A and B are shown apart, each in its own frame.
Chain A
Amino acid sequence: MTARADLPGAPGGVATGEPVGDATCEPVGDATCDAVGEPTGDAVGRAGLLWDAAAAGDEYAAVDVVVAALDDGMDMESLLMDVVAPVQARVGREWAANRITVAQEHTITAVNERVLAALALHPAARGSAPTRPAPHGPAPRSPAPHGSAPARPRGRVTVACIDGEWHAFPARILTEVLRLRGWRVDHLGAQVPTPHLIAHLHRTGPDVVALSSSIATRLPAAHAAITACQATGTPVLAGGAAFGPDGRYARLLGADAWAPDARSAADGLDAGLPPRPAPGRQAVDDLPHLDDQEYTLVVQSARRLVRQVMDGLRERIPAMAAYTPQQLRHTAEDVAHIVEFLGTALYLDDPELFGGFLAWTGEILAARGVPARVLLPALDLLAERLTDFPRTSGMLAYGHETLRAATTDARRAPADDGSGGGA
């Protein structure tokens, strides 16, 4: 559990939420990016070309790939959903398998964002309806040139990422798809503080707000944002890997709608807006188990728990005496992530979330040549310090069992290529 990059910083957000319930399936990255239908072979080929260009940091070649796709008759939405989004989803997979570095994942994301920006300016993003007048002036980045046909927009949508959520790409894709379909979209971008979001809702009064989150540990913040949006009478559409592959956490946290990807989200909104939520609901109404205060107590003592576990690890693992400061820091960060996911699992009362995180972390470590069982002593030390909390103890026992089973399987399957794709 050393010498590796920070977990939740991984663009693509595969970390999180995604492996819940089935840690052996291939991570799908940002759920909002992934197409539901099978992309055509043509799209898969172009996605490969775009990946190569982005991985080389060559945005000119990358823009050429997508412009060529449009010139060859691919429609803009398919291009976004079946070529651009899969490339972004692949970033998370490649990082997890240790095939790209943190610098590369940021570079690929930056190039892909430039591709999106270039596509938003492309005439195809302005729709092909001949009756529409040309947009006035060049006005780059203005929302005006978007939207396919209707002179009157279908409705107004606010798209935002949860506070603390850095993965802006799935939300960007949704924004572009909704604009293509004629919605008026206010795109607020990454990590929007909830007070800013609510102020925006009061000012603009949208028909619906779409909230994106890729990292499961943002779910408590997502819950606060969902409730606050609904308190203004604005229905919430939730999306992103954090809400679970089947949207289970979106339902649990009271979102008015959930969509697995941008295309389904747009289809859902086209079919009809969710009804306005009734005011007066509070976050704790959804999660009565929070009454036991275990979530609050664990989260409030998180830093102290990390220090105690680090002290305990130094006693139990003599090799740690030889760790470099950087190795020690990575170890402490791993422990901090474990505590953070434990808190989130307590918030949602879902041991599978915790188990899934540990199994996924085990794969990440394995891909970097570190045996996943190094996490077990940290779990034991946590359990020793949290014996007074029955729900927490249950989570830790479940996590321990999940991780032990995963490492046993890995030892029995020496043919594993170490790609992290299967345990």
Chain B
Amino acid sequence: MTGATSEAEHGPAGTVWRSAPYPVLLVGGDGVIEHVNDAARALPAMAAPGVPLADAVPAWLAEAHRLVTEDASGSAAPVRGLIGDRAFEAHPAPGGGSRVTWWLVDATDHERVAEALRLERKRTAFLAEASNELLSSLNLDRCMEVTVRLAARHLADAALVILPAAGRRHPVAYCGPDGRVVRENPVVDPREVPGLAEALRGFPPVPSRWIDPAAAPGWLARDELGEPGSMVVTALPGHGVPAGALVLLRRSDHASFSEGEEVFARLFAARAGAAMSAARLYAEQAAITETLMRELLPPATRGLDGVELAARYRPAGATELVGGDFYDLHPAAEPGGESLLVLGDVCGKGLEAAVFTGRIRTTLHALLPVAGDHGRLLGLLNDVLLRGDSRTFVTLVLASVRRDGPRATVRLTSAGHLPPLVLRADGRVEEVATRGTLIGMLETVTATTVTVELEPGDTCLLYTDGVTEARGGPLGDELFGEQRLREELEQCAGMPPEALTERVQMLAAQWTGGGDHDDVAVIAITAPRAGRGTLPPGVGVS
């Protein structure tokens, strides 16, 4: 008896077993506990020798024991469950006969850490996804859509973004539980919604528990959601002023927002607000640029009184819309009058050059009354540029075009620019012998004006050095050159002007391949062939 007690007290492994830091239960073949160690006695369970296991431990462990004893293979995986308020992992070890030793490992802290890690990973993944999607667009509408869609999917059952009022209306994006985004522009009073007016004005957030979701108006808590259970209103922080407000809604059967979730919602709102502010800023800047740029863009081409015309322009940089090449058209004031065309190239590239072309175009427009005398026009332009503060110059060609029965008469003056070419209907290419000094450098300028008669089907071509100085070709290092241009033009007899300008621009672009190219501007003036004339304004291909 003493021996048996001793064995019961100390177990088969003696004191090592007894003082093991993990609870250990030795269960006999009849399901009655035979031995327990000290740690097991400390469990909030009735584990003691002589007590049936099913009475001493929670059902999950008793069930696991039943399975282990029934499974003849002897292989058994650990099981997990709660004993009291702590989580345990129970490892069965088959003992002698049909006895089983259960080693219980306290996994409470491990599970807590794992759960915290899982949640943190989920949040990080969500924030990464949100940042990815929000950063990818600079369009405000799209940012609003992304924000409500992500918020409704990950943070709540429904979400709204409300922008500050434009007039009396607030742009709103709504996303419900079905993930569909609705855009609206309603007249609403933010003061109807607890916390919304504050959020739109940048006050600190009102805690969710202070907000009564039942007070939310119908445009906010929509019918599809049922009775709202909880609601968060948070500002979308912007550049100094809030970009808008984010409202999160949960159904009543969904847990209400915890403090941690509210903090996390604000983390998300910070990203969404930054993206929306950037998009708004981009849109504003783009609108300003567009307005300023409109004056610098080349004008639309149209047919001039009985003369066909086409012009093309391509700036150097892939990101640029304007550059140092330019052209302008000034149709004759009355039928039968002279129209003035200008094509030029200012020293430099990019926006600065483009601004200078704008000044030149404006000046030339003001000098139109003297366009009958090209030399005088150039002299006046030279005076204006010399008096200005810019240290740059321009080369240009003036072309005054007048219809003359079936023919067209063109007066051409080059001011330091490449001489125009005339492509005859039979394929001959002639260089127009006009020469002159460039504008904006010297006190006095000289230029010779040459008058050219265009017979039906003849074309006069004005172009900038972006064509002839294109570097590339199949071998990669050759200039396109004037000779090559003339050879190509010989193949182009009889083309409509828009086809010809496209051809010239295409040749230059293909010559450079993917390499750098300069600004290119081309104008073609064509006396219509018999049976052909100009189409109505606006129909020409720009």
**Chain A interface: which of B133-141, B396-404, B440-448?**
B133-141
List CB contacts (< 8 Å) of A9-26 with chain B.
9
Question: With the chains together, A113 CA to B500 CA distance in Å?
Answer: 14
Report yes or no: A233 in contact with B283, Cβ–Cβ below 8 A.
Answer: no
CB contacts (< 8 Å) of B510 on chain A: these are 6, 8-9
Is A270 on the interface with B (CB-CB < 8 A)? no
A117→B137 contact, CB < 8 A: no
Could you tell me the distance between the alpha carbons of A233 and B532 in the complex, rounded to whole angstroms? 47
- Residues of A within 8 Å of B142, CB to CB, are 205, 232-233
Instruction: Point out the residues of chain A lying under 8 angstroms from B132, CB to CB.
Output: 279-280
Q: Collect the chain B residues with CB atoms within 8 Å of residue A199's CB.
A: 286
A5 → chain B closest CB, angstroms: 8
Q: A166-B506, A195-B318 are in contact. Are A107 and B475 (CB under 8 A)?
A: no
Is the pair B139, A202 in contact by a Cβ cutoff of 8 Å? yes
Chain B positions within 8 Å of A58 at CB level: 531-532
Interface pair A193/B475, CB less than 8 Å apart: no
Pick from A9, A107, A335: contact of B474, CB under 8 Å = A335
Stretch in B26-34, B97-105, B152-160, B490-498 with 4+ CB within 8 Å of A? B490-498
Question: Is B2 located at the chain interface by the 8 A CB criterion?
Answer: no
CB-contact partner of A326 in B283, B487, B509, B533, under 8 A: B487
Taking CB atoms, residues of chain A closer than 8 Å to B211 are none
The CA of A336 and the CA of B476, in the complex, are separated in Å by 10
Q: Distance in Å from the Cβ of B128 to the closest Cβ of chain A?
A: 9
Q: Is A303 an interface residue (CB 8 A)?
A: yes
With both chains docked as a complex, state the minimum distance between the C-beta of A56 and any C-beta of chain B, in angstroms: 9
Residues of chain B contacted by A201 (CB below 8 angstroms): 139
**For window 86-129 of chain B, which residues contact chain A by CB distance below 8 Å?**
none
Stretch at the interface among B188-196, B339-347, B534-542: B534-542
Of A98-106, A237-245, A283-291, A415-423, which binds chain B? A98-106
User: Which residue of chain B is the closest to A231 with respect to CB atoms?
Assistant: B136
Q: Is the CB of A332 within 8 A of B475?
A: yes
Say yes or no for A306: interface residue by CB 8 A criterion.
Answer: yes
Chain A residue at smallest Cβ distance from B536: A140
Q: Which residues of A contact B477 (CB under 8 A)?
A: 303
Residues on A with C-beta less than 8 A from B499 are: 106-107, 109-110
Check A110 against B496 for contact (C-beta < 8 Å). yes
Q: Do B475 and A191 have beta carbons less than 8 Å apart?
A: no
Complex Cα distance A57/B539, Å? Answer: 16
Asked whether A385 is an interface residue with its Cβ less than 8 Å from the other chain, the reply is no
A140 to B539, Cβ gap below 8 A?
yes
Would you list which residues of chain B between 302 and 330 have a CB under 8 Å from chain A?
Answer: 318-319, 321
Chain A CB within 8 A of B80 CB: no
Interface residues as binary, B447-479 with A (CB distance below 8 Å gives 1, 0 otherwise): 000000000000000000000000001111100
**A251 on the B face (CB < 8 A):** no
The 7 tightest CB contacts between A and B, nearest first, are A303-B476, A140-B538, A332-B474, A110-B499, A336-B474, A106-B499, A202-B138
The interface residues of chain A, by DSSP majority, are classed as helix
Contact of B503 with A by CB under 8 A: yes
A203 within 8 A of B: yes
Q: Which residues of B contact A109 (CB under 8 A)?
A: 499
B474 near A333: Cβ-Cβ < 8 Å: yes
Question: Apart from A57-B496, A141-B538, A332-B474, what are 7 other A-B pairs with CB-CB below 8 Å?
Answer: A57-B494, A114-B535, A117-B535, A117-B541, A140-B537, A191-B509, A233-B136
Chain A residue at minimum C-beta to C-beta distance from B314:
A191
Query: Is A376 an interface residue when CB atoms closer than 8 A count as contact?
Result: no
Closest Cβ–Cβ distance, residue A259 to chain B (whole Å): 24
Contact of B318 among A9, A163, A336 (CB under 8 A): A163
CA distance A102 to B495 in the complex (A): 10
Q: Counting CB contacts under 8 A, is B282 at the interface?
A: yes
| Any B CB within 8 A of the CB of A97 | no
Q: Is the CB of B491 within 8 A of A103?
A: yes
* 23 A-B pairs with C-beta separation under 8 A: A6-B510, A9-B510, A57-B496, A59-B496, A59-B532, A103-B493, A103-B494, A106-B495, A107-B499, A110-B495, A110-B499, A114-B539, A114-B540, A118-B535, A118-B539, A121-B539, A141-B300, A199-B286, A202-B286, A279-B133, A303-B477, A332-B474, A336-B474
In whole angstroms, what is the CA distance A382 to B502 when docked? 33
A232 and B475 within 8 A (CB):
no
Main secondary structure of the interface of B (DSSP, over half): loop
Assuming the contacts A202-B137, A233-B133, asked whether A57 and B529 have C-beta atoms less than 8 A apart, the reply is yes
For chain A, residues 285 to 319, give those with C-beta under 8 angstroms from any C-beta of chain B: 302-304, 306-307, 310
* Least CB separation from A202: chain B residue: B138
Structural contact, A57 and B136, CB atoms closer than 8 A: no
Closest to B505 in A: A166
Q: Which of A182-197 contact B (CB under 8 A)?
A: 191, 193-196
Asked whether A102 lies within 8 Å of B491 as measured between CB atoms, the reply is yes
Q: How far apart sit A279 and B128, CA to CA, in the bound complex (Å)?
A: 11
Chain A residues within 8 Å of B146, by CB = 233
What is the minimal beta-carbon distance from B500 to any residue of chain A, in angstroms? 8
Instruction: Give the distance in Å from the alpha carbon of A58 to the alpha carbon of B530 in the complex.
Output: 10
Q: Which of B137, B473, B475, B493 contacts A233 (CB 8 A)?
A: B137
In the complex, A281 Cα to B512 Cα: how many Å?
31
A329 close to B (CB within 8 Å): yes
Inter-chain CA distance A193–B142, complex, in Å, is: 23
Interface string of B179-210 (1 = CB under 8 A from A): 00000000000000000000000000000000
| Proximity bits, A62-77, B CB within 8 Å = 1, else 0 | 0000000000000000
Q: State whether B494 touches A202 (Cβ < 8 A).
A: no
Return chain B residues, CB-CB under 8 Å to A336.
474
B502 to chain A: which residues have CB within 8 Å? 106, 110, 166
- State the Cβ distance, A232 to closest chain B Cβ, in Å: 5
A323 at interface by CB-CB < 8 Å: no
For residues 322 through 340 of chain A, which have their beta carbon under 8 Å from a beta carbon of chain B?
326, 329, 332-333, 335-336
A107 and B494 contacting across the interface, CB-CB below 8 Å: yes
Known pairs A59-B535, A164-B509, A233-B137; A193 contacts B318 (CB<8 A): yes
Instruction: Tell me which residues from 259 to 289 in chain B have a Cβ below 8 Å from any Cβ of chain A.
Output: 279, 282-283, 286
B494 to chain A: which residues have CB within 8 Å? Answer: 57, 103, 107
- Min CB distance B306 to A, Å, is 15
**How many whole Å from B192's CB to the nearest CB in chain A?**
29
Are A111 and B496 interface neighbours, CB within 8 A?
Answer: yes
Question: Among residues 31 to 71 in chain B, which have CB atoms less than 8 Å away from a CB atom of chain A?
Answer: none
**A contact residues around B321 at 8 Å (CB):** 196
B475 touches A306 (CB 8 A): yes
Q: Mark A224-257, 1 if CB is under 8 A from B, else 0.
A: 0000000111000000000000000000000000
Among A191, A193, A194, the one with the most B-chain Cβ atoms within 10 Å of its Cβ is A193
Q: Does A306 contact B474, Cβ atoms closer than 8 Å?
A: yes
Q: Which B residues are in CB contact (< 8 Å) with A57?
A: 494, 496, 529, 532
Q: B127 → chain A, closest Cβ, in Å?
A: 14
In the complex formed, the residue of B with least CB distance to A108 is B499
Q: A58-B531, A101-B491, A106-B492 are in contact. Are A203 and B475 (CB under 8 A)?
A: no
Chain A residues with Cβ below 8 Å from B282 are 202
Which residues of A77-115 have CB atoms within 8 Å of chain B's CB atoms? 101-103, 106-107, 109-111, 113-114
Residues from chain A with Cβ under 8 Å of B533 in the complex = 60
Bound state CA distance, A305 and B476, in angstroms?
11
| A60 CA to B535 CA, complexed, in Å | 9
Chain B nearest CB, measured from A174 CB (Å) = 17
Query: CB-nearest residue of chain B relative to A310?
Result: B475
CA distance A97 to B352 in the complex (A): 48
Give, as a whole number of angstroms, the nearest-CB distance from B486 to chain A. 12
